[in-house]
Structure 1
Amino acid sequence: MQRIGNVSRRRSFLWTAIGIALVALGFVGGRLSLIAQHPIIAEPAFRNLSASYNEIRADFLKDTDPSDLINGAAEGMVASLDDPYSRFLSKEKGKAYVESYEGEFVGIGVTVRQEDGKFIITSVIKDAPADKAGLRAEDVIVQLEGKPVEVKTTEELAQKLRGKEGTKVTIGISRSGLSEPFQVTLTRAPIKQESVSYEMREGGIGVVTVTRFAERTAEEFDKAVEALEKDGMKALLLDLRSNPGGLLTPTIDIANRLIPKDKTILQVVYKDEKRVITYRSKQEKPWELPIAVLTDSHSASASEVLAAALKESAGATVIGETTYGKGVVQRFRQFYDGSVLSLTEAQWRTPNGQWINEKGVEPTIKVSLPEYASLPPLPSGTLLKEGSYGEHVKTLQSMLEALGYPADGTPGLFDEATKRSLESFQRDEKLDVTGELNDRTSYRIVQRLSEKLKKEDAPLLKGIETLKQQLGART
């Protein structure tokens, strides 16, 4: 009996040991599986993150939102890359980022500027809800949902005016000539954001301006070209100045139309050059018209891709300034809550194999805009008067001089000479003659400079002249 009892106890111990081992294996296996799915857990520094999170949640003086803390950690992680083009945008910022490339948003269809604390409609998009309701440029938005406008920036106001399709928003409008504001209830609708404009200039020169590369840009470009061709376009002048770039797909689509079939558009080179993708033109119909491209120091990323491809693979003349020099590629991923991770994952080379990052694309013909074109803008809310001094005053003096109102005083000091020049401008523009700079006067100065620049656009005029010469050489 003793022997049997010992065997029984040994069996019991064995099964207990097996059970413990299985539990241990299950725990280890589960942890290994968890680490495999989330490698960050295995990092020693993860303990710091976890401990900080727990301590903040438990002991911070004010209430905290777990998702805000985690998104903040993600923002910090991306910031540690020290890459100006990689970023993490949480929730609403991420949604706005994606929306900016979709070529469409839901809203009422107005652009707004801020002037002396007021939100003034600059333009109304044709056939948008605001247009159908009879809103006009220079109308002032004074109320939202029956209450005074309390937002501080145009970006904040835009968020209030946008929303889901079919929802309503009531705004109060103050209009010149009316003694009281009136209320308008608008139904939000999809609004297209155009990225392409065009015009026909003398000699059959079709000018197509691309301001960025969004989802519908290639489609808009095709429509612009078709309209110009119907009007008898003989040469294409593609204006990519101040184009910050955007999506690669519409850029390639436009290149496919203009660059001969099988010619290289660009080469995308991934980490450690383990993967290289060469994009070649898939042109279906030969392009037979001369092409010139306008660039400046603000032409970046996708606009540089197109400028370099047209220059090296289509023989286009590039006119203007050396481009910005952004030769890296980002891919963005949107998460379930709308947050976005935009991460630099590749570099690109021109068709001739040139790296342009921090170098830019050199123009064939170098032409710069007048100096006043590069003056920094005067921030909204800038108030200057006699006795003021600093860079804003210096900028104002340069702007006035460009418009024919020279202030022969001390640069950077708002003196009597500056006051007289400003008064002369205000008088000629039928503004209140105060001798002080406010938002209304600042806006008018910028308007007049913009009009002047359009008439004195040296790169544009050189582009037209160059294409005319090329057309003359063909005949």
Structure 2
Amino acid sequence: MQDRGRKIVLWVAVILVSMFASSLLTLTLVGPLSFASKGGGVTAGMANKDLQKLETTYNLIQSKYVQQVDSEKIINGAVNGMLSALEDPFSVYMDQKEAQMFEETLESSFQGIGAEVSLEEGKVTIVSPIKGSPAEKAGIIAGDVILSVNGEKLDGLKLNEAVAKIRGAKGTQAKLEVLRSGSGEPVQIIVVRDDIPIETVSSEMLEGNIGKIDVSQFVQFTAKRFKEELKALEAKGMKGLIIDVRNDPGGLLPAVVEIAEPFVASGKPILQIEDRDGNKKPELSKGTGKTYPIVVLINGGSASASEILAGALKESAGATLVGQTSYGKGTVQVTFEKEMGDGSNIKMTVYKWLTPNGNWIHKKGIAPDVEVEQPSMFKAVPMTKKTTLKLDMTGDDVKNLQVMLDGLGLKPGRTDGYFNDKTELAVKAFQRLNNLPMNGEVDAQTAQKIEEAVYKEIRNPKNDLQLKEALKVVQGLVK
């Protein structure tokens, strides 16, 4: 599955902000992508009048504009403008630096906050924080809108421009102004950038000999690591399998096809690719299938390649999906670095991908067979820490405080944003347990400690209701 010409990329999510480097992708299919287009591919060229219009504009800027402008900046602007006219957030231009960072991201670690974003209705929106990343630890979740970074507003910026402001070296702070659905006011979340290692697969054996494999994203070595972990679990007598792709923003198509193939019987489709003329071609499995039951865990941060895996295992291997509806990214992009010829790159939407049964999940996602919502504390917004919270205060900060206290089992009495006497008692109880001054008020120190305690509880499997349900489903299917 390797194209000997240009790299063909099925971009299965959005822009990895170094925070990743570029976009979520799914790479390289020769068979399904070998369509003959009625439009004649890219050979049609431009009409002379159109070329004349571009050249005239270029010359006017160079000769008449109030100040001199670098020619490369003008050309890059023209390329960006043409792609922007498509009104497709997944068709973008990458300059030489961005293109190089994209390539590097597929092979090694990177520095950033560890999340992936898209541009939705002009807003920089989190698709998914990477598991264990600084972004996840700081409380960033799928759907958060980033309004500004270190005081610089992101409104009106192209996605690559916004990403450039979020990126940064290890140890530096990204002060994000974040708006979360359901919250009236934005909050500031400070994320300390770090090295984000691309170790994408981990596994464990759960009770009842039920195996669990976590896939955080699909990069070049993910399929190999998945096979190793699967083989080890099977050797231990695994009776059923849970594959966890929650908050997995996607990755390379060969990786997800290679992972899905052993579970899908030979001749059955893993996915379908559809061209601009409506022609469809399936990617057929050469696998043997598995006899044990399989559950795939998904949520709103499961995008693109994760959705391909979930769709393939559900429709062609009889797997059960547990969790919440996935992100919904069903288009295929192709990169044109060789055509650009100067180290820059264009990725442009060229195809759709469909599930084995021909379903296009774009902007809809894949619904789980068993829907399970996580506890409220999983969606709590970090407090702003701008003021000390105390008795009789109201607001979103108080509401989030109460949600966190409730999640910690400290019973604040209410979660509507009014700081009552029971909330004060709950705060005092937390302060006593954590050797803080027992004044019942939430200053920056107490707020930070509460948030750290909540993150620890979120990472504790005993609070993971989706995982508990997945385990219950698999155990019920074991013969």
TM-score range, shorter chain: 0.5 to 0.7
CA distance in 2, matches of 1:449, 1:355: 36
1:230 pairs, out of 231, 235, 248, with: 235
Deviations 1:232-288 (A, max 9, x none): 222111111122222211111111111111111111101021x422111011x5533
Aligned residue type for 1:460: L
Residues 55 and 461 from structure 1, CA distance in 2 versus in 1: closer, same or farther, beyond 3 angstroms? same
2:459 pairs, out of 434, 447, 451, with: 451
* TM-score of the two chains, using structure 2 as the length reference: 0.65
Counterpart mapping for 1:51-66 below 5 A: 51-57=56-62, 64-66=69-71
Shift of 1:225: 0.7
Q: Secondary structure at the match of 1:194?
A: coil
2:95 pairs, out of 76, 87, 90, with: 90
CA distance in 2, matches of 1:405, 1:246: 40
1:157 pairs, out of 151, 169, 176, with: 169
Higher helix proportion (structure 1 or 2): 1
Residue of structure 1 in register with 2:449 after alignment: 441
Residue of structure 2 in register with 1:340 after alignment: 345
- Whether 1:280 and 2:288 are equivalent positions in the alignment is no
Residues 320 and 51 from structure 1, CA distance in 2 versus in 1: closer, same or farther, beyond 3 angstroms? same
Residue of structure 2 in register with 1:131 after alignment: none
CA distance in 2, matches of 1:336, 1:389: 58
Shift of 1:218: 0.7
Aligned residue type for 1:441: K
1:195 pairs, out of 191, 200, 225, with: 200
Whether the aligned pair in 2 keeps the contact of 1:292 and 1:316 (CA below 8 Å) is: yes
Q: Secondary structure at the match of 1:363?
A: coil
- Whether 1:39 and 2:51 are equivalent positions in the alignment is no
Counterpart mapping for 1:59-74 below 5 A: 64-74=69-79
Residue of structure 2 in register with 1:463 after alignment: 470
Structure 2 unpaired stretches of 5+:
1-41, 116-131, 135-163, 173-194
Deviations 1:76-123 (A, max 9, x none): 3222211232222333333333333x241478xx9899xxxxxxxx99
Residue of structure 1 in register with 2:38 after alignment: none
Whether the aligned pair in 2 keeps the contact of 1:384 and 1:393 (CA below 8 Å) is: no
Shift of 1:198: 0.8
CA distance in 1, matches of 2:64, 2:394: 48
- Whether 1:360 and 2:360 are equivalent positions in the alignment is no
Residue of structure 2 in register with 1:398 after alignment: 403
CA distance in 2, matches of 1:410, 1:233: 42
Residues 37 and 467 from structure 1, CA distance in 2 versus in 1: closer, same or farther, beyond 3 angstroms? closer
Shift of 1:230: 2.7
CA distance in 2, matches of 1:159, 1:63: 38
Aligned residue type for 2:283: Y
Whether the aligned pair in 1 keeps the contact of 2:327 and 2:365 (CA below 8 Å) is: yes
CA distance in 1, matches of 2:397, 2:58: 44
What percentage of residue pairs aligned between the two structures are identical? 33
- Whether 1:378 and 2:378 are equivalent positions in the alignment is no
Residues 91 and 407 from structure 1, CA distance in 2 versus in 1: closer, same or farther, beyond 3 angstroms? farther
Q: Secondary structure at the match of 1:330?
A: strand
Q: Pick which of 315-324 and 401-410 moved more.
A: 401-410
Residue of structure 1 in register with 2:80 after alignment: 75
Residues 246 and 397 from structure 1, CA distance in 2 versus in 1: closer, same or farther, beyond 3 angstroms? same
Residues 43 and 257 from structure 1, CA distance in 2 versus in 1: closer, same or farther, beyond 3 angstroms? farther
Deviations 1:38-95 (A, max 9, x none): 9347354x55654554455556666644323322332232222112322223333333
Residues 191 and 364 from structure 1, CA distance in 2 versus in 1: closer, same or farther, beyond 3 angstroms? closer
Alpha carbon RMSD of aligned pairs, Å? 3.7
CA distance in 2, matches of 1:154, 1:422: 34
Residue of structure 2 in register with 1:22 after alignment: none
Residues 431 and 211 from structure 1, CA distance in 2 versus in 1: closer, same or farther, beyond 3 angstroms? farther
Q: Secondary structure at the match of 1:398?
A: helix
Shift of 1:419: 6.7
Q: Pick which of 90-99 and 460-469 moved more.
A: 90-99
Residues 77 and 449 from structure 1, CA distance in 2 versus in 1: closer, same or farther, beyond 3 angstroms? farther
Structure 1 unpaired stretches of 5+:
1-35, 114-121, 125-151, 161-189
Counterpart mapping for 1:275-354 below 5 A: 275-283=279-287, 285-334=288-337, 335=340, 338-354=343-359
Residues 153 and 52 from structure 1, CA distance in 2 versus in 1: closer, same or farther, beyond 3 angstroms? closer
Residues 467 and 341 from structure 1, CA distance in 2 versus in 1: closer, same or farther, beyond 3 angstroms? same
Residues 227 and 191 from structure 1, CA distance in 2 versus in 1: closer, same or farther, beyond 3 angstroms? farther
Aligned residue type for 2:382: L
Bigger radius of gyration among the two: 1
CA distance in 2, matches of 1:222, 1:373: 31
Whether the aligned pair in 2 keeps the contact of 1:244 and 1:301 (CA below 8 Å) is: yes
Whether the aligned pair in 1 keeps the contact of 2:377 and 2:454 (CA below 8 Å) is: no
Q: Secondary structure at the match of 2:74?
A: helix
* TM-score of the two chains, using structure 1 as the length reference: 0.66
Deviations 1:141-192 (A, max 9, x none): xxxxxxxxxxx987311499xxxxxxxxxxxxxxxxxxxxxxxxxxxxx996
Residues 322 and 43 from structure 1, CA distance in 2 versus in 1: closer, same or farther, beyond 3 angstroms? farther
- Count of aligned pairs between the two proteins: 364
Q: Secondary structure at the match of 1:200?
A: strand
Residues 83 and 37 from structure 1, CA distance in 2 versus in 1: closer, same or farther, beyond 3 angstroms? closer
Residues 416 and 230 from structure 1, CA distance in 2 versus in 1: closer, same or farther, beyond 3 angstroms? same
CA distance in 2, matches of 1:219, 1:320: 26
Whether the aligned pair in 1 keeps the contact of 2:211 and 2:242 (CA below 8 Å) is: yes
Residue of structure 2 in register with 1:104 after alignment: 108
CA distance in 2, matches of 1:256, 1:112: 29
CA distance in 1, matches of 2:343, 2:418: 48
